[in-house]
Amino acid sequence: MTSLGRRRVLVTGAGGFVGRHLVARLAEQGADVTALTRTGCDLTDPDAVRAAVVAARPEVMFHLAAARQAGDGADRTATATVNAVAGMWLVEAVPPGCRAVIRLGSSTEYAAQTSPMDELTPLRPRGYFGATKAAGSLLFTAVAAERGIRSCVLRAFQVYGPGDKPSRFVPAVLAAAHAGTTLALTGPGLRRDWVWVGDVVDACVRAAGRDDLAPGAVYNIGTGVQTANEELVATAERVTGQRIATRAGAHPGRGWDTSDWVCDPAAARADLDWKPRVDLAEGLARCWSDR
């Protein structure tokens, strides 16, 4: 397993779902981690961002922070700043000896298509969040290239695992199984590529540990298998041994929901020696036992 032990590592979004898992993995490896959370550093303040990076003196930086507010003008501005501009400030501030800067992107940066998405799939985001993430990925890699610092963007598909927000789909499904309540479900046939959070963390660490990646490399992080929401519920029933009552069509879904949303992970397999190790049934079972 790739290790960043004893290196100085900066992680933004350290209080978020993936961030908490990444910080825990790095701590296990013995890395010297500076964990930036929303309350610890205002990523909409360029002076605060630069001061945090200068104090951390990172040899490796992971930019995982993301914002999702898209209500009024102020919310939209803050979301765009965190998702698109803050990464540029972070890369501008890292020391010249920084080994790598890694950004956790999103599958929502891509255009929808009926075949598995590879890294050449056009960037045509379906919503505001995806648009800000796509812009941020482009700015992040451009500034890193100007500074001669190795960068990598990992476009994660639908991440799940223990410690996720209760309002997210997998926790809501398992909560319904535990409590015996009825789950509001989308209409049939909406599919996603579900990838275990530990596998995403593994991809992050592997990308940071490789010195032979092309500058500005982009990799899709997913399983190559898509699962409809109702199919996930059926799998959850099998692994929990509980019947889950649903009301199909009672949940409106998201604006970017589609019948096809799946990753082609071949490039990550070839260049990072990465592959997903936890399938959906095992992941749901782990979440159930960890609840």
pLDDT of res. 256: 80
pLDDT of res. 1: 63
Predicted TM-score (pTM) of this structure: 0.96
pLDDT of res. 92: 98
- What DSSP string describes the chain? ----TTSEEEEETTTSHHHHHHHHHHHHTT-EEEEE-TTT--TT-HHHHHHHHHHH--SEEEE-------SSHHHHHHHHIIIIIHHHHHHHHS-TT--EEEEEEEGGGBPP-SS-B-TTS-B--SSHHHHHHHHHHHHHHHHHHHHT--EEEEEE-EEE-TT--TTSHHHHHHHHHHHTPPEEEPPTT-EE-EEEHHHHHHHHHHHHH-S-SPTTEEEEES-S--EEHHHHHHHHHHHH-----EEET-S---TT--S---B--HHHHHHH-----S-HHHHHHHHHHH-
pLDDT of res. 263: 96
pLDDT in tens, the chain (291 residues): 688 988 999 999 999 999 999 999 999 999 999 999 999 999 999 999 999 999 999 999 999 999 987 677 888 999 999 999 999 999 999 999 999 999 999 999 999 899 999 999 999 998 899 999 999 999 999 999 999 999 999 999 999 999 999 999 999 999 999 999 999 999 999 999 999 999 999 999 999 999 999 999 999 999 999 999 999 999 999 999 999 999 999 999 887 889 999 999 999 999 999 999 999 999 999 999 988
Q: What structural domains and CATH numbers belong to the chain?
A: 8-161+195-224+263-277 (3.40.50.720)
